[in-house]
Structure 1
């Protein structure tokens, strides 16, 4: 019996309109409930709900002129059932991440090491590509939840399965991204100065909360990006002229006139290695290059050839030493 059917039977009884068969059905339903079922629930509004229910039952009982003394225990059972229904409604509106504690929802965490990337599909059909050094936490399934919420640390590309009844929400530090069905990139590494959301298809709502608690909301369409500055504590939108933000997903590593130090950070994340410099001057050398699904030694040889003076040496424990000088 559904909650609505049970409520309808209770209403009919209180109005004196129950048939004998409906009375017997209601008796069986109420036998499965007792006072402990209601009092064991720790809901702040329970006392008020119970008082309201008893008040309404008392008024209806007088109106319908029913046998007050013989029905006293039965009406108390009705009150108990209505309390449980009210509690159920209260649970339904709790944030899914809080409701998980009450329903023992299982959470899954996927993570990647530096130099690794991973693609997988959630229970609802949403496809996620996780960049290196990232992790994401999500419920085992979204069936019993009113929203689809995940927590991301790092970078990921989302292709969200459409479901107008269950918004997809990504939590990343001070930024929350909500969609119904679209594709977009979220970059939210802890060490990064910015958290960025870039939309490829569809429409995305991005919200950030500043240090004083104010919420800033922006809506993005394809080729737009929202960047939250951790230092400036603000959310800024801009237009993206190309899809370079998806280079990592497509196996492309790109150096746009950056220093060797910046390039070494990218190589560390991309290949899972550590780079040391023989001299600090090498850190300020600049490099411009593009590589697609290239092996590490190919990248290093290319940089060595372009700089005409830099050399490298493989050390133990996945370490690489850059030495020499740059003579462009």
Structure 2
């Protein structure tokens, strides 16, 4: 049992540092489902981890972890006594059923003290300059782009499969005819049974896009923005809704082009530069100020692989040498020449 406990401790440490293989992720899920007390262990660890390692200092994390939880090795079973602590509002790692690949995302679990400390909701937040893969409780897979957040209730996959998205995500949804999968955003709701699709729905951007790769999706436009009702998408089609004009249009696309971002590829077709700039800001964690009305409206098509630097992209965008730009830390200013 001692060796088994040491191994579990290593897996738990790897979970918090974002360094787990797919095989270890499955082992962690199996361990969590084997005993309710194991979930309590992870909950306690997550609470301590969030408080103790902001910011994270890699050289100190493992010794600190062993100092606080090394007693797991000494026990014949991995159980801990219950602590009477108020968990409401504390920031913790997601406690069960959620495994994320990518150490740059973080998780928030809100507990409801009025409902026997049950988890009210989970939220995954991905900072600028990174992306993350998340496996949901129903084994659906979601890739979250930079500056995005995904939120769902503790009842997910029990009463329903409903999630809330702010930002961009690519979904591979497990089919379940009894529980439709619903993605809710500020502008629209998307209902599917099992399919692959991409949603770009940042609240601070005027356009929301839903691109379908395979299967079928039903899109319900919120009445606050549109009276168009329901739109059904077929593969290789994209619905684009403009919040400023309250108009939606459906266009033909190449489905796989919609989610190249998850592989670090920036691809755009006939996009104005002010919208491209928002993608560059998220990808490279910068703030771009466009002091050129002509550049804001100029339309571009192109593709840049993951090894392109921001400087190289800006230089290629300005092939005609009409603009000049300077950088100061995370701030980039672009002017007419």
TM-based fold match above 0.5: yes
Equivalent residue, structure 2, for 1:298: 312
Alpha-carbon distance in 2 for matches of 1:208, 1:288: 28
The unaligned stretches of length 5 or more in structure 2 are 1-113
Q: What does the per-residue CA deviation read over 1:267-310, in whole Å, with 9 as the maximum and x for residues that have no partner?
A: 21221112245766665666554211022233234446x23464
Q: What does the per-residue CA deviation read over 1:156-175, in whole Å, with 9 as the maximum and x for residues that have no partner?
A: 11111122222111111241
Given the alignment of the two structures, is residue 319 of structure 1 paired with residue 327 of structure 2, yes or no? no
Q: What TM-score do you get using the length of structure 1 for normalisation?
A: 0.58
Specify the structure having the higher radius of gyration (Cα): 1
Q: Report if the CA contact (8 A) 1:268-1:274 is conserved.
A: yes
Alpha-carbon distance in 2 for matches of 1:249, 1:173: 23
Given the alignment of the two structures, is residue 142 of structure 1 paired with residue 156 of structure 2, yes or no? yes
Q: How has the CA–CA distance of structure 1 residues 180 and 271 changed in structure 2, closer, same or farther, with 3 Å as cutoff?
A: same
Alpha-carbon distance in 1 for matches of 2:133, 2:190: 20
Given the alignment of the two structures, is residue 126 of structure 1 paired with residue 137 of structure 2, yes or no? no
Over the aligned positions, Cα root-mean-square deviation in angstroms equals 3.3
The alignment partner of 2:263 has SS state of coil
The unaligned stretches of length 5 or more in structure 1 are 1-100
The alignment partner of 2:127 has SS state of coil
Q: How many residues are paired up?
A: 224
Equivalences for 1:166-245 in 2 at 5 Å?
166-211=179-224, 216-233=229-246, 235-241=248-254, 243-245=256-258
Given the alignment of the two structures, is residue 268 of structure 1 paired with residue 277 of structure 2, yes or no? no
Given the alignment of the two structures, is residue 108 of structure 1 paired with residue 101 of structure 2, yes or no? no
Alpha-carbon distance in 1 for matches of 2:232, 2:301: 34
Q: What TM-score do you get using the length of structure 2 for normalisation?
A: 0.56
Alpha-carbon distance in 2 for matches of 1:117, 1:270: 9
More helix by share: 1
Alpha-carbon distance in 1 for matches of 2:260, 2:171: 15
Q: How has the CA–CA distance of structure 1 residues 237 and 259 changed in structure 2, closer, same or farther, with 3 Å as cutoff?
A: closer
Alpha-carbon distance in 2 for matches of 1:297, 1:232: 34
Q: Report if the CA contact (8 A) 1:175-1:228 is conserved.
A: no
Q: Report if the CA contact (8 A) 2:272-2:296 is conserved.
A: yes
Alpha-carbon distance in 2 for matches of 1:259, 1:174: 21
Given the alignment of the two structures, is residue 117 of structure 1 paired with residue 131 of structure 2, yes or no? yes
Q: Report if the CA contact (8 A) 1:135-1:154 is conserved.
A: yes
